[in-house]
Structure 1
């Protein structure tokens, strides 16, 4: 289990679970630059719950 750097909860990373990166939930969203900058240069995934709290989250349209 990998943890979110913001709340320290499980971030449900597909890669960490041995799955392909393209199957991860994070591939279906765009994360704001500001939120990414808030965690600095750490190579850690933010959890979906923390992303939902960020007003700048954009869910990608899978049809495009």
Structure 2
């Protein structure tokens, strides 16, 4: 399971599941730079769709 670094939930990564990268939900969304900066590390991390949607909703409020 690939874990979201923000909420620690499963991020439902198709790539980690062995599927083609273009099938993953994350390839069809723009991930806000502020979220990426908040979790910047030396390793690759995958923020989940729920956290991205929450961030965008809160930013629009």
Query: What 5-or-longer segments of structure 2 have no aligned partner?
Result: none
| Structure 1 match to 2:20 | 20
Give the structure with the larger helix fraction: 2
Give the aligned length. 56
Q: Does 1:31 align with 2:27?
A: no
Query: What 5-or-longer segments of structure 1 have no aligned partner?
Result: 57-64
Q: Does 1:53 align with 2:40?
A: no
Q: Give me the TM-score of the superposition, normalised by structure 1.
A: 0.80
Q: Give me the TM-score of the superposition, normalised by structure 2.
A: 0.84
Contact 2:32/2:52, CA 8 A, preserved across alignment: no
Moved over 2 A (4+): none
Give the structure with the larger strand fraction: 1
